[in-house]
């Protein structure tokens, strides 16, 4: 059984997600510290006649995150169009995204095998055809939408949630200085983490020397971390918190 044996793990996701992660870490004997680098909320968007037409015409809807699922479904429900979703094909990037869709009562028709947007691109042609609707956050890199349009598929993106900067709490740097592991789950969180700590040369040195380890959820986030000349010490093969905990325990030989 995996044990974290008093390992101090900083959680940088939004507060709600970090609370769920906290419970997982505590169950394994770890010490979770919540230090959110992002804040998630609904985008200022409504389904007007144009969006209603886009939703009606879409054959597929592609989701890449639980946030996309939640805020899209809330938007469609409030517009009284939830029944329309039963006639759509649904693609989900990642098991957690698929679970969120199933919890909303939606059937998932396609999940790329490697839980990543890049895997979706390489595997797309065999599975998804027709006009596509892509709910996303305001900081989405738009890789999937760009790829689909380049391939001749009409892809419309809706920004359904916003990723903003939370209020920085007192003592935040101490949380990072005292950490054994700092977890990062998105490029935006990685950038905000770096902006927060970059002036603390001792902390940066500790990260680069591996005394404080960076755990990244997957390749896209890892790329953003390395672009800031920081190392990635831990990256699970499956992009979930459960897999990250296992990888942390193995790396630190708990």
Q: Are 42 and 160 in contact (CB under 8 A)?
A: yes
Are 154 and 219 in the same domain?
Answer: no
Let me know if residue 248 belongs to a domain: yes
Of the CA atoms within 13 Å of residue 254, those in its CB half-sphere come to 21
Confidence of residue 96 (pLDDT cuts 50, 70, 90): confident
Count of the separate structural domains present in the chain: 2
Least confident stretch, 3-7, 150-154, 179-183? 150-154
Residue that terminates a domain, selected from 164, 191, 215? 164
Let me know if residue 123 belongs to a domain: yes
Q: How far apart are CA 242 and CA 217, in angstroms?
A: 11
Q: Name the residue among 244, 251, 245, 252 with its Cα closest to residue 222.
A: 244
Residue-number span of the structural domain to which 248 is assigned: 8-38+166-252
Are 62 and 117 in the same domain?
Answer: yes
Let me know if residue 67 belongs to a domain: yes
pLDDT tens sequence across 19-31: 999 999 999 999 9
Locate 142 and state its tokens: 């738009």
Q: What local confidence, expressed as pLDDT, does residue 35 receive?
A: 95
Residue 125 in this model has a pLDDT that exceeds 90: no
Let me know if residue 214 belongs to a domain: yes
Least confident stretch, 90-94, 114-118, 197-201? 114-118
Are 46 and 143 in the same domain?
Answer: yes
Count of C-beta atoms within a 10 Å radius of residue 2: 16
Instruction: State CA 6 to chain mean position distance.
Output: 26
Count of C-beta atoms within a 10 Å radius of residue 80: 9
Query: How distant, in Å, are the alpha carbons of 51, 167, 170, 189 from that of 159?
Result: 12, 23, 32, 18
Let me know if residue 24 belongs to a domain: yes
Is the pLDDT higher at 130 or at 175? 175
Quick one: three-class SS letters along 31-64?
Answer: EEEECCCCEEEECCCCCCHHHHHHHHHCCEEEEC
Residue 123 in this model has a pLDDT that exceeds 80: no
Cβ neighbours of residue 82 closer than 8 Å, sequence gap 6 or more:
73, 76
Where residue 98 sits, what CATH number does that domain have? Answer: 3.40.50.10090
Are 75 and 189 in the same domain?
Answer: no
Confidence of residue 116 (pLDDT cuts 50, 70, 90): low
247-254: long-range contacts (C-beta < 8 A, 24 or more apart)? 247/215, 248/4, 248/7, 248/9, 248/181, 248/213, 248/215, 249/2, 249/3, 249/4, 249/7, 249/28, 251/213, 252/7, 252/180, 252/181, 252/213, 254/2, 254/3, 254/4, 254/5, 254/7
Are 47 and 25 in the same domain?
Answer: no
Strands (E) located in the chain: 8-11, 31-34, 39-42, 60-63, 89-92, 132-137, 155-164, 181-184, 213-216
Q: What local confidence, expressed as pLDDT, does residue 45 receive?
A: 94
Q: What local confidence, expressed as pLDDT, does residue 76 receive?
A: 96
Residue that terminates a domain, selected from 129, 164, 199? 164
pTM, full prediction: 0.82
């Amino acid at each position: 059984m995996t044990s974290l044996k008093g390992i101090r793990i900083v959680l940088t996701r939004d507060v709600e997600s970090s609370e769920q992660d906290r419970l997982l870490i505590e169950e394994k004997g770890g010490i979770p510290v919540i230090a959110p680098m992002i804040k998630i909320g609904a985008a200022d968007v409504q389904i007007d006649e144009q969006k209603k037409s886009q939703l009606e015409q879409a054959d597929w809807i592609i989701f890449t995150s639980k946030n996309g699922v939640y805020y899209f479904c809330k938007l469609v429900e409030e517009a009284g169009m939830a029944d329309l979703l039963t006639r759509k094909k649904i693609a989900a990037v990642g098991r957690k995204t698929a679970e969120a869709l199933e919890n909303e009562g939606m059937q998932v028709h396609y999940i790329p095998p490697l839980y990543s947007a890049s895997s979706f691109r390489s595997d797309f042609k065999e599975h998804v055809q027709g006009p596509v609707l892509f709910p996303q956050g305001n900081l989405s890199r738009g890789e999937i939408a760009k790829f689909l349009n380049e391939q001749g598929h009409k892809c419309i993106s809706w920004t359904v949630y916003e990723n903003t900067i939370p209020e920085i709490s007192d003592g935040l740097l101490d949380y990072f200085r005292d950490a054994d592991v700092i977890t990062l789950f998105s490029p935006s969180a990685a950038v905000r983490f770096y902006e927060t700590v970059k002036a603390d040369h001792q902390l940066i040195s500790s990260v680069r020397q591996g005394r404080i380890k960076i755990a990244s959820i997957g390749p896209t986030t890892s790329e953003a971390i390395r672009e800031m000349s920081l190392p990635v010490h831990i990256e699970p093969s499956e992009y979930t918190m459960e897999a990250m905990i296992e990888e942390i325990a193995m790396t630190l030989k708990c």
